[in-house]
């Protein structure tokens, strides 16, 4: 298992990140195809982009109050 991936996901979950961002981040990190257009959200697209870049800090802008 990729510990960097696992640790990042656990950190985001504990921080209370927007679930859409997290799903996008996971998909981007794992290089999965992006969701179909009608299911895209701003948070998902931001997460997908951050995941592709292996950005472990971008989620902090998507923590839900």
Q: How far apart are the two ends of the chain, measured CA to CA in Å?
A: 31
Mean pLDDT of 1-8: 91
Instruction: Give the pLDDT confidence of 8-64 residue by residue, as tens digits.
Output: 999 999 999 999 999 999 999 999 999 999 999 999 999 999 999 999 999 999 999
| Helices and strands, number each (H, E), in the chain | 3, 0
Q: d(Cα 16, Cα 28) in Å, to the nearest integer? A: 19
Residue 1 clears pLDDT 80, i.e. is over it? no
Residue 45 CB neighbours (<10 A): 16
**Please, are residues 18 and 45 in contact by the beta-carbon 8 Å criterion?**
no
What integer pLDDT is reported at residue 65 of this predicted model? 82
Predicted model pTM? 0.94
């Amino acid at each position: 298992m990729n510990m960097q991936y696992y640790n990042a996901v656990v950190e985001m979950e504990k921080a209370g990140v927007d679930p859409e961002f997290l799903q996008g981040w996971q998909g981007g990190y794992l290089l999965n195809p992006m969701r179909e257009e009608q299911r895209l959200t701003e948070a998902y697209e931001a997460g997908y982009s951050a995941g592709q870049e292996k950005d472990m800090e971008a989620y902090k802008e998507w923590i839900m109050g």
